[in-house]
C-alpha cells in the first residue's frame, strides 16, 4: 500500500464510468492522501465491450482505500466483487438497507456471471482460452464482509480530513446522496454526489432530502429534458388496464426489474385490491430475486415514508403476502402457463431479454385477450423495445410469434427525477456550487439539463468524458 507516500492535493474527482452514458457508475476521488471510489457499477452494453470494460480497472484495485456506495442497483454496485477479486481490501460504506439489498443483488449477479461464462465456454472453438466469470459466489461472500453500514444523516469520519454523510435520495430502498467534507491544502471543500436521484410521491420511499450544499456537485442527468407522468395518475391507469384485461378474460403480463420496480407495482396492486377497485384475481410475482428483495424491504421500515408506516400499523400485510403469490420454483412458474383464468403475472426481467418473462410471453402474446404492460425503460435492440414498437412479429427463444396481445406503456413509475424535478432539487445550490459535473445520462439528456442549469445561475456546468477530472 502506498498511501503514506501519496501527495496531498485538493480534492480531485476522475470520471471512469457513467460518463455520457447511464451505466457503469464509477468515479475516483483523491482527497486527504487517500484514494476512494464513488460507486463501482457494472457497465452494461454489447457483450464484448462490457466484458472488457468491467474486467479491466483503470487503476490498481489494491491502491483503493475505500468505496462510498450510493445504492444497491447493479449499475452502481455490480463490479464490487470484481474489485475485491483483484485485490481491493478496504471498507465499502453504504446505508444499512443498501448493505442488505446488495447481499441479494450481488449474489444474483454472481450467478448470472457464472452462467454467462458457462454459455461462452460451451460455444468456444477448439483452442480458444477458457472464459472465466467476472466473479463468483466466493468473491461476493468476501465483498459482503467489507460492507460497513452508515445510517442516514450521521456524519462519519472515513479517513483523515474526510467526513461522509449519507442523505436520503428517495430512489430505491437505502439509496443515498453522498455528502462529503474534505480537507485540502486550500482549505475545506464540500462535494455532493447525487447518485440516482428519486422523485417526490413514489410509494413506500420517503421523498428525496435536500441536496447537501457543495463546492463541487456531481449530479445524475438520466431524464434531462423529459417529463414523467405523475405517480398517482399512473396508479389509476394501472388499475384500469387490469380491469379491461380481466373484462375480456385475458391475462396481464408485467415484465419488471425484480428490485425496486416490482415492489412498486405490487404495492399499487395490493392497495387497489384493498380499496375494492380490482376484481379478485390471482396475482403472481414470478421471480425468486423479487421475493428475496421484498423480504429486505419488509426488514427496513426505517426507510419508509409516513403513509407507508401508517398503513403498516393498520395492516402488516404491506406487500400483500396473503394475496400475492411469490413463485420461487421453476416448475410452479411453468405451471402458470397451464392456467386459463385471468391473472396478473409480474416477472423478471425488465427488458424481456432473459428470465422467466420469456416463457410467459411465448405462451401469451398470440392471444388478443391478453395485455403486456411495460413499466420501465426499454433499451434499443431488446425484445422489450420491439414490444413497445408493436412489431407484428417478434422472436422469442429462437421462434417467431405474432404479437396479438395488447401492449400498454406506463411511463410514470420511474424512480428517477425528471427534468423539472432535477431543476427544483438542484436549484438551491445555484450561485454556491462552483463546479457542476453531469453524469449518468445519454449526451442528449445531459445536454438538456446542462443548458437549463446554466440559465438558472449555475457556473462551470460540464458533461465529462471518461478519464476527465475536476478539482474542487
Q: What is the CA radius of gyration of the chain?
A: 23
196 binds Zn ion (CB under 5 A): yes
| 263, 319 Cβ separation under 8 angstroms | yes
Closest contact distance (angstroms) between CB of 171 and Zn ion is: 6
Nearer of residues 73 and 85 to Zn ion, judged by Cβ: 73
Quick check: 199 binds Zn ion (CB under 5 A)? no
421 near Zn ion (CB under 5 A): no
Which H or E run contains 332?
A: helix 330-335
Q: Least distance to Zn ion from the beta carbon of 452, Å?
A: 22
Q: Segment near Zn ion (CB under 5 A), from 188-196, 241-249, 301-309, 363-371? A: 188-196
Nearer to Zn ion, 287 or 371 (CB): 287
- How far, in Å, CA of 115 to CA of 291, rounded? 21
168 contributes a contact to Zn ion by CB under 5 A:
no
Q: Which stretch binds Zn ion (CB under 5 A): 82-90, 98-106, 193-201, 281-289?
A: 193-201
Q: Tell me which H or E stretch contains 309.
A: helix 306-314
Residue carrying the nine cell digits 445520462:
441
44 and 82 Cβ atoms separated by less than 8 Å: no
101 vs 242, beta carbon nearer Zn ion: 101
Nearer to Zn ion, 197 or 343 (CB): 197
CB 299 within 8 A of CB 100: yes
Task: Assess contact for 358 and 372: CB atoms under 8 A.
Answer: no
Nearest to Zn ion of 18, 269 (CB atom) = 18
**Minimum distance from residue 71 beta carbon to Zn ion (Å):** 6
Look at the alpha carbons of 349, 355, 360, 366 in this order and tell me if their dihedral is positive or negative: positive
**Residue 39 found at the interface with Zn ion (CB under 5 A):** no
Count residues binding Zn ion (CB under 5 A): 2
Identify which of residues 73 and 189 has a Cβ nearer to Zn ion in the complex. Answer: 73
Give yes or no for a contact between 172 and 150, defined as CB atoms under 8 angstroms apart.
Answer: no
| Contacting Zn ion within 50-89 (CB under 5 A) | 73
What's the CA gap between 352 and 362, in Å, rounded? 11
Residues that bind Zn ion (CB under 5 A): 73, 196
Amino acid at each position: 500500500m502506498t498511501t503514506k507516500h501519496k501527495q496531498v492535493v485538493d480534492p480531485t474527482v476522475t470520471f471512469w464510468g457513467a460518463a455520457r452514458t447511464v451505466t457503469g457508475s464509477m468515479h475516483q476521488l483523491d482527497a486527504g492522501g487517500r484514494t476512494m471510489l464513488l460507486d463501482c457499477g457494472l457497465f452494461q452494453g454489447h457483450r464484448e465491450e462490457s466484458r472488457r470494460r468491467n474486467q479491466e480497472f483503470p487503476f490498481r484495485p489494491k491502491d483503493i482505500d475505500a468505496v462510498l456506495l450510493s445504492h444497491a442497483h447493479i449499475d452502481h454496485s455490480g463490479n464490487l466483487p470484481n474489485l475485491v477479486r483483484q485485490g481491493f481490501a478496504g471498507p465499502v460504506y453504504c446505508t444499512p438497507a443498501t448493505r442488505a439489498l446488495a447481499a441479494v443483488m450481488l449474489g444474483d449477479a454472481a450467478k448470472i456471471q457464472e452462467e454467462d461464462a458457462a454459455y461462452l465456454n460451451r460455444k468456444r472453438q477448439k483452442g480458444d482460452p477458457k472464459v472465466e466469470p467476472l466473479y463468483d459466489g466466493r468473491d461476493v461472500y468476501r465483498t459482503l464482509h467489507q460492507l460497513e453500514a452508515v445510517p442516514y444523516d450521521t456524519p462519519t469520519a472515513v479517513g483523515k480530513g474526510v467526513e461522509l454523510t449519507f442523505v436520503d435520495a428517495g430512489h430505491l430502498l437505502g439509496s443515498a446522496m453522498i455528502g462529503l467534507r474534505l480537507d485540502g491544502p486550500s482549505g475545506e471543500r464540500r462535494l455532493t454526489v447525487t447518485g440516482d436521484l428519486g422523485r417526490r410521491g413514489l410509494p413506500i420511499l420517503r421523498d428525496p432530502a435536500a441536496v447537501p450544499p457543495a463546492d463541487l456537485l456531481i449530479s445524475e442527468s438520466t431524464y434531462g429534458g423529459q417529463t414523467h407522468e405523475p405517480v398517482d395518475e399512473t396508479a389509476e391507469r394501472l388499475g384500469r388496464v387490469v380491469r379491461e384485461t380481466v373484462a375480456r378474460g385475458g391475462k396481464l403480463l408485467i415484465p419488471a426489474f425484480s428490485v425496486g420496480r416490482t415492489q412498486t407495482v405490487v404495492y399499487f396492486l395490493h392497495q387497489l385490491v384493498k380499496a375494492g377497485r380490482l376484481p379478485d384475481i390471482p396475482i403472481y410475482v414470478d421471480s425468486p430475486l423479487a421475493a428475496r428483495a421484498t423480504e429486505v424491504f419488509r426488514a427496513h421500515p426505517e426507510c419508509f415514508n409516513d403513509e407507508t408506516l401508517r398503513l403498516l400499523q393498520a395492516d402488516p400485510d404491506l406487500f400483500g403476502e396473503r394475496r400475492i403469490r411469490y413463485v420461487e420454483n421453476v416448475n410452479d412458474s411453468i405451471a402458470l402457463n397451464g392456467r386459463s383464468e385471468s391473472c396478473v403475472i409480474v416477472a423478471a426481467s425488465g427488458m424481456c431479454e432473459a428470465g422467466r418473462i420469456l416463457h410467459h410471453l411465448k405462451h401469451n402474446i398470440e392471444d388478443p385477450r391478453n395485455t403486456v404492460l411495460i413499466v420501465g425503460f426499454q433499451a434499443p435492440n431488446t425484445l422489450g423495445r420491439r414490444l413497445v414498437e408493436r412489431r407484428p412479429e417478434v422472436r422469442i427463444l429462437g421462434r417467431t410469434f405474432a404479437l396479438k396481445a395488447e401492449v400498454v406503456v406506463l411511463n410514470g413509475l420511474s424512480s428517477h427525477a425528471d427534468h423539472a424535478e432535477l431543476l427544483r432539487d438542484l436549484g438551491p445550490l445555484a450561485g454556491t456550487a462552483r463546479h457542476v459535473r453531469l453524469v449518468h445520462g445519454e449526451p442528449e439528456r445531459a445536454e438538456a439539463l446542462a443548458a437549463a442549469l446554466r440559465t438558472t445561475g449555475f457556473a462551470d456546468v460540464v458533461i465529462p468524458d471518461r478519464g476527465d477530472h475536476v478539482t474542487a
